Amino acid sequence: MDSRRPPLAPAYRTLPEYVRHWADLTPDRRAFTFVDHPAPDSRGVHRTLTWQRLDLRVRALAARLTEEAELGSRVALLCPQGTDYITGFLAALTAGMVAVPLYPPGLPGHADRLVGVLADARPAVVLTTGRTLEEVSDFCERARVPVLAVEQVPDSAALNWQAPAPDSDATAYLQYTSGSTRAPAGVEITHANVVANARQALAAYGADAHQVTCVGWLPLYHDMGLVLSVAAPVVRGLLSVLMDPAAFLHEPARWLRLLAAHPRALSAAPNFAYDYCASTVTGAQKEGLRLDGVAALINGSEPVRPGTADRFHAAFAAQGLAAEVHCPSYGLAEATVFVSAARPGRALGRFALDRDALAAGKALPARPDDPRAVLLAGCGIPVGQRVRIVDPVAHAVLAEGEVGEIWVQGPNVGRGYWNNPAQTRRVFGATLGEDAPGDWLRTGDLGTVLDGQLIVTGRLKDLIVVDGRNHYPQDVEATAQDAHSAVRRDRLAAFGVPGGAGERVVVVAEHARTTSLADLDVSALTRAVRAAVSARHGLRLADVVVVAPGTVPRTSSGKVSRALTRARYLEGVYAAETAV
Q: What is the CATH number of the domain that holds 94?
A: 3.40.50.12780
Asked if residue 389 belongs to a domain, the reply is: yes
Which one of 250, 273, 301 terminates a domain? 250
Supply the CATH number for residue 388's domain: 2.30.38.10
Q: How far apart are the C-alpha atoms of 265 and 296, rounded to whole Å?
A: 7
**DSSP state string for 389-430:** EE-TTT--BPPTTB-EEEEEESTTS--EETT-HHHHHHHH-B
Please state, as a whole number, how many other Cβ atoms lie within 10 Å of the Cβ of residue 6. Answer: 17
State whether 213 and 139 are in the same domain. yes
- Looking at per-residue confidence, does 43 or 579 come out higher? 43
What is the C-alpha to C-alpha distance for residues 220 and 74, in angstroms, rounded to an integer? 17
Q: What is the mean pLDDT of residues 32-58?
A: 93
- The answer to whether residue 237 scores a pLDDT higher than 80 is yes
Return the SS3 of 154: coil
Last residue of a domain, one of 231, 250, 269: 250
- Do 450 and 485 reside in the same domain of the chain? no
Q: Would the pLDDT of 477 be above 80?
A: yes
Summarised one tens digit per residue, pLDDT across range 561-574 is: 888 899 889 888 88
Q: Same domain for 490 and 505?
A: yes
Considering the domain architecture, whether residues 195 and 239 belong to the same structural domain is answered as: yes
pLDDT on residue 217: 97
Residue 280 lies in a domain: no
User: Residue 51's domain spans which residues?
Assistant: 15-37+44-250
- 212 in the same domain as 178: yes
- 454/502 same-domain check: no
Q: Would 323 be classed as within a structural domain? A: no
Answer whether residue 501 shows pLDDT above 80. no
The whole-angstrom separation of Cα 201 and Cα 222 is 16
Tell me if 27 sits within 8 A of 51, measured CB to CB: yes
Give the residue from 187, 201, 236, 174 showing the smallest Cα distance to 15.
Answer: 236
57 and 112: one domain? yes
The answer to whether residue 549 is domain-embedded is yes
Together in a domain, 405 and 496: no
State yes or no: pLDDT of 182 exceeds 70. no
Long-range contacts of 251-258 (CB under 8 A, 24+ apart): 251/37, 251/40, 252/276, 252/277, 252/280, 252/281, 253/277, 253/281, 253/282, 253/285, 253/289, 254/35, 254/37, 254/44, 255/215, 255/217, 256/281, 256/285, 256/289, 256/291, 256/316, 257/289, 258/35, 258/215
Average model confidence (pLDDT) across the chain:
92
Residue 263 resides in a domain: no
Asked if residue 255 is part of any domain, the answer here is: no
262 domain residue, yes or no: no
Q: Are residues 355 and 376 in the same domain?
A: yes
Q: What is the DSSP letter of 343?
A: P
Q: Are residues 495 and 387 in the same domain?
A: no
State mean pLDDT over 14-32: 97
Q: What is residue 20's predicted lDDT score, i.e. its pLDDT?
A: 97
579: pLDDT confidence band, cut at 50, 70 and 90?
A: very low
In this structure, are 203 and 86 located in the same domain?
yes
Q: Which of 282-296, 534-548, 563-577 has the lowest mean pLDDT?
A: 563-577
The domain total for the chain is 3
Tell which of 228, 250, 272 closes a domain: 250
Q: For the CA atoms of the chain, what is the radius of gyration?
A: 24
475 with 512, same domain: the answer is yes
Report if residue 62 sits inside a domain. Answer: yes
